[in-house]
Amino acid sequence: MFRDAIWREYKTGQEVSKTPTNRYIAVQRGAVSLLATIDGYTREAEMSRAHCDLWRTFCCEPNGGGDPFTSEMEMVLYGKLTGMLNR
């Protein structure tokens, strides 16, 4: 799910120009947080989730393009991730 979201937000040439979009960064940080949680790296997962939340707020501002987690499954996974970190 996150892989699809990352590719959906990827813009050709961003690795060369070093200018990924806010939406791409939000999704990428969400993916890192999920993987860190699965691997048991709680501190890293919490930091990545906080970064993801910050970038998601930028995306939800006017002209920000809206929440990058567009599919229901992405929202469910992100919600489960948040619940796992809040234990």
Angstrom distance (rounded) from CA 48 to CA 30: 7
Note whether 40 and 84 are within 8 A (CB). Answer: no
Render the burial of 44-76: b for 16+ CB within 10 Å, e for the rest: ebeebbebbeebbeebeeeebeeebbeeeebee
pLDDT digits (tens, 9 = 90+) for 12-71: 999 999 999 888 999 899 889 888 988 989 899 889 888 888 888 888 888 888 888 776
Expressed as residue numbers, the domain containing 58 is 2-85
Is residue 78 pLDDT above 70, yes or no? no
**Confidence band of 3 (pLDDT split at 50, 70, 90):** confident
Domain count, the chain: 1
Is residue 81 pLDDT above 70, yes or no? no
- pLDDT value for 34: 85
Q: What is the token pair recorded at 63?
A: 């002209």
